[in-house]
Amino acid sequence: MRVSPCFTSNHAPTIIEAALSGLGLACTFAPLVDGHLKAGALETCLEPFCVGWSGYHIYYPDRRQKSAALGALIDALRQHRKR
């Protein structure tokens, strides 16, 4: 189905606010809207098309040494996962 959107954004809080205002559907991660779903302000639709989240996947060539920045990112993601 082709639609002519009057509003688009890649900023999750803006997308959620637009959905709460009744502007249309929002495609975002469930944890960002759990409270709104539980309160009944938003509802899930198109569930057969929802993609599961299995976590982060990082690929880097092992023939090179891991940079300090990549090591910090990996550590931060591991800490975030433990929460």
pLDDT tens-digit readout, 43-69:
999 888 887 777 778 887 776 788 889
Amino acid 83: pLDDT: 64
pLDDT tens-digit readout, 5-28:
778 899 999 999 999 999 889 989
41 pLDDT band (50/70/90 cuts)?
very high
Tell me the C-alpha distance between 76 and 82, whole Å.
Answer: 10
State the CB neighbour count (10 A cutoff) for residue 33.
Answer: 21
Contact indicator for 53, 29 with CB cutoff of 8 Å: yes
Tell me the C-alpha distance between 74 and 78, whole Å.
Answer: 6
Residue 11 carries which side chain, given as an amino acid letter?
Answer: H
